[in-house]
Structure 1
Amino acid sequence: MKRNILRFTTSLFLVIAVSLNAIAQEPSDSIATGVETPIDTIQKKKDKYGLRVGIDLFKPILSMVNDDIQGFEIVADYRLKKNIYIATEFGFTDKTGEEDFLIYNAKGSYIKLGGNYNLYKNWLDMNNEIYIGIRYGFSSYSQTLVEYTPNYYGTYFDIPTFNPDTTVDGLTAHWGEFVIGLKVEIFNNLYMGGSIAMKKLFSQDEPDNFGNMYIPGYERVFMNNTGFSFNYTLSYTIPFFKK
């Protein structure tokens, strides 16, 4: 009996000794090193999501230095995903132009709808963009033949000038654009930007007596129905949330 008690007591002491040894060999990091484990306090960068609205600065500046053209353009975009934005531009233009044998006036409103893809990888709290995009454009306008001179080649008589001042309303045009641009955040939520658009005219309504020289929104019309334009914008983001 005493032998069994001694054996049990010896076994119990061995179990306690092994347990204490295991505890002693597995201290917490702070006890083992004497230094507390640092906590990561650096927050991950969050991107702003919201509506950005602005104006094209080029058109009002051009209107101030050239009385033959007046107009404005509003620009806007909304961030759908990290690098994807839906975008639009809309405005009004009233332009009087002069060619070799005629003077015309084109006046109307337009809208462009599409999207941008940001190619620039921001770091820290930057929210800049270098983007490519596409647009569908639609314009509703009128054309006025202000003055024209018939092209009488080789005549000895004085060439008369006519002032019909005829206006054709209800004209429309459709086109597509490929856009390359950038936006730079100069202050919190305030952006300067610029873009170049390469255009292809899909369809256009023309007056019976002369062709379109200029279409509001599309701008100058060339014989191959291609063209380009650019803008210089100042815009502000109304932030909705970050993620």
Structure 2
Amino acid sequence: MIRTFLYSLSISLAGLLTQAAQAQVKPAGDTSIKKTAVDTSAPKPAQRPATAAPLKAAPLKKAVDTSGHKTAQRPPATPVPAKKPDSIYYVPGGLRLGIDISRFALHFFQPYRTDVAVQADARINKKLYGAFELGYNRTSHSDTSYTYKGSGAYATVGVDYDFLKKKDPSEKNMVYGGIHYGFARNTYEVPAFNIHNKYWQSVTPGSFPKTNMTAHWIELTFGMRVEALPNFFLGWAVREKIMLSNNAAEGFDPIVIPGFGSGSKSSQFDLTYTVSYYLPLYKLKIRESREPKKKKD
């Protein structure tokens, strides 16, 4: 019985080994998967019958950014405003003539001098005025010590700037400041003088001959002119006069330099008061821009 079992087991093992050997041997022929050839040429469009309705083009669709980022948009262009035309208007221009009445009051305080001064101004543009002045001085003094005589004329010319803001362009009132140049020519002499010596109880007479001189100075002015009656103006001004040069004889200064004041000083303060009349002679064309001024950063 044991023999019979061993015999059967040997037959079974032989069969299993035979099947395993057959499974490891490849069958004849190519068993790999082959790809089917694909036609890559562009397909021909299908022909439509002649009676078919024409095809409508599909509306173009805007590309949508699906990345999640916002697309930068350009700000709308700012419209450029049209340039406004300049404003043009006319202001009265003319010659204002006046007389300085403060010179008459000066004679009351300094009787030895007589002064006469006339002033004029003419409008140049909206704010600037040309200013002129002509004058004459005569100085005469006599006492027990000396006798002095002098006379001469002067002229000043300059510009005044009107600081007054006017609602009405035709208004002629003004508050102004200016700078003027002055020139004077003077002749003076001392016909006789006496030098008293108290110690010796003596008197020494003498004289200075007639001398001609010229002087140059500048004036800084500030004042106002107000129309009291139609075309009649009252005005006042303060002036600081600064001497530039003069050729007076050394040691023999004039008592008065016409238009300037004391001949022994290098600067002089002065006050004037004028009455004047306005002559409307012309008109000035004023052009102003309507464009707003740009603000500085």
Match for residue 183 of structure 1 among 225, 243, 267? 225
* C-alpha contact (below 8 Å) 1:147/1:161 kept by paired residues: no
1:158 aligns with 2:193: no
Q: Alpha-carbon deviation of 1:213?
A: 3.1
**C-alpha deviations, 1:33-84, integer Å up to 9, x for none?**
xxxxxxxxxxx99642111111111223444776422231110000011111
Q: Contact between 2:196 and 2:204, CA under 8 Å: does it hold in 1?
A: no
1:76-126 alpha-carbon deviations (Å, 9 max, x no partner): 000011111000101110023589x65533310000000100111233464
Secondary structure at 1:207 match in 2: coil
Q: Name the TM-score, length of structure 1 as normaliser.
A: 0.70
2:221–2:239 CA contact under 8 A, matched in 1: yes
1:129 aligns with 2:174: yes
**Which residue number in structure 2 is paired with residue 120 of structure 1?**
164
Residue number among 235, 240, 249 corresponding to 1:193 in the alignment: 235
Q: Which amino acid aligns with 1:201?
A: M
The question of whether the paired residues in 1 share the 8 Å contact of 2:219 and 2:242 is answered with yes
Deviations 1:129-157 (A, max 9, x none): 111111110101101124444486xx522
2:269 to 213, 228, 235: 228
CA distance 1:209–1:65, change in 2 (3 Å): closer
Identity value in percent: 27
**Structure 1 range deviating more: 175-184 or 211-220:** 211-220
Offset at 1:219? Answer: 1.1
Q: Which of these residues, 79, 100, 117, is aligned with residue 123 of structure 2?
A: 79
Residue 190 of structure 2, aligned match among 145, 170, 186: 145
Give the distance between the partners of 2:148 and 2:242, measured in 1 at CA.
Answer: 23
Higher normalized helix content (fraction of residues): 1
CA distance 1:162–1:45, change in 2 (3 Å): farther
Would you say the 8 A contact 1:108–1:139 is kept in 2?
A: yes
Q: How does 1:31-42 map to 2 (within 5 A)?
A: none
The equivalent of 1:58 in structure 2 is 102
Larger Rg, first or second structure (1 or 2): 2
Q: Which moved more, 1:115-124 or 1:191-200?
A: 115-124
User: Structure 2 unaligned runs (5+)?
Assistant: 1-87, 285-297
